[in-house]
Amino acid sequence: MKIGLVSAYDYAHPGGVTEHVRHLAAGLRRRGHEVTVFAPCSDRELAEADHDFIRVGRPFPIPMHGSVARITVSLHLTNRIKHYVRDGGFDVIHYHEPLMPVLPVTALRFSKTCNVGTFHAFARSNVGYYYGKPLLKRYVRRLHARIAVSNPAREFVRHYFPGDYRVIPNGIDLSRFQNQPPYPELRDGMCNLLFVGRLEYRKGLGYLLRAFAQLKPQYPKLRLIIVGDGPLRRWYSNFVARKQLDDVVMAGYVPASELPRYYASCDIFCSPATGDESFGIVLLEAMASGKPIVATSIDGFREVVTHGREGLLVERKSRRQLAYALQTLINNSALRQEMGTAGLAQARQYDWERVIDQVADVYKRAIDLAQPAPAVRLEPSLSPR
């Protein structure tokens, strides 16, 4: 098959959707399919080095759902996008966040082939979906198949656009995280807690820092390793200095190639996110590394971790529960080992080859059933329904 993958997000910037598209493209190519990725990209050299990637627009940071989305907002790309989707000869075009401006929704508007959409996001509400529903539902009808990466993501989008959505989760490259050597300087007899994520409020690092401050006097050999960067980095650094917390390592941004070694270096992985997570990719990475988990009991995380089996789930925004769960695992190495082993077994269910099998099946069914996509007429009513 000739397949087009369309992503709204900056292809040069790490993120869940971008990594999903990269792995999906690589896996489909291994199976002999011809795959072209369309996305905005802030790194021109990266774009030019990949002959199967087409850079469409320059991304700009847009605040969204408590985070920052790097997407292209240029309306001057319309004719270019129209040319790519109409003249590319694709058997199927797969849109990741198909209702995101400007690239996916424009490509979907002009496509005359089989269209598949994957919805990655989860939030309590979406103002754009609410007010844009009269227009956006016309685009949704152009999708011959719909995928959601989790049950929370499915229920979120189905609230605005009812229909059939097949749940196909994010995948994990198990080989990337297994048998990785830890950093020797971090395996020095200390008990290492690891946080991986963007330094923004919704990732909940502040609650973990307060829990660490509570535990540190009782456990002098406890260390917290923070991997990631973001707008709150300075605030968290000042908090560590103000509280005079020893053994907090702020590693900053870490290339994807080095990330598995940080997982290998930790004893417990902790993700205290406060919400709006459709799927716990970092939890999968920790599980693939054989590490026990302490995380918040939010919708997207409960999709991946069962409390008491691969880790411990606590109430969100609760420093006390977080500290107690961490203390439970710090004190019990046998339980850490048991949960790490269970996590690795569970991670195998998310192997990318399994995920790609399911996506390829969706393509085949959608192509077999596809009828010419209905035209979109741009006469939006702005009143919500």
**Nearest Cα to 7, choosing from 105, 89, 123, 91?**
105
- As a whole number, mean pLDDT of residues 345-350 equals 96
Question: According to the model, what pLDDT value does residue 297 have?
Answer: 97
User: Measured between alpha carbons, how far is residue 38 from residues 51, 71, 99 in Å?
Assistant: 11, 12, 15
Cα–Cα distance between 318 and 308 in angstroms, integer? 18
Of the candidates 308, 294, 311, 305, the one whose C-alpha atom is nearest the C-alpha of residue 211 is 294
Model pLDDT for residues 304-341, shown as the tens digit of each residue: 999 999 999 999 999 999 999 999 999 999 999 999 99
> For residue 8, what are its two tokens?
């709204």
Does 385 score more than 50 pLDDT? no
Q: What is the dihedral of CA 283, 289, 294, 297, to 10 degrees?
A: 20
pLDDT higher than threshold 90 for residue 349: yes
222-227 and 248-252 strand pairing = parallel
pLDDT digits (tens, 9 = 90+) for 66-86: 677 888 888 788 999 999 999
On average, the pLDDT of the chain sits at 93
More confident residue, 325 or 370: 325
The pLDDT confidence band at residue 51, using thresholds 50, 70 and 90, is: confident
Q: pLDDT tens for residues 164-202?
A: 999 999 999 999 999 999 999 999 999 999 999 999 999
Percent of the chain residues topping a pLDDT of 90: 79
Domain assignments of the chain as residue spans, ordered by start: 2-171+352-369, 174-349
Residue appearing with tokens 């539902």: 137
Q: Class for domain 174-349, per CATH?
A: alpha beta
**Is this prediction's pTM over 0.75?**
yes
Is residue 350's pLDDT more than 50?
yes
pLDDT value of position 384: 46
pLDDT, greater one: 43 or 269: 269
pLDDT in tens, 88-119: 999 999 999 999 988 999 999 999 999 999 99
| Pairing of the two strands 60-64 and 67-71 | antiparallel
174-349: same fold as 2-171+352-369? yes
Q: Is the pLDDT of residue 31 over 90?
A: yes
Q: Which stretch of DSSP H or E encloses residue 382?
A: none
**Class of domain 2-171+352-369 as given by CATH:** alpha beta
Which of the four pLDDT bands, split at 50, 70 and 90, describes residue 121? confident
Indicate the pLDDT class of residue 38, thresholds 50, 70 and 90: very high
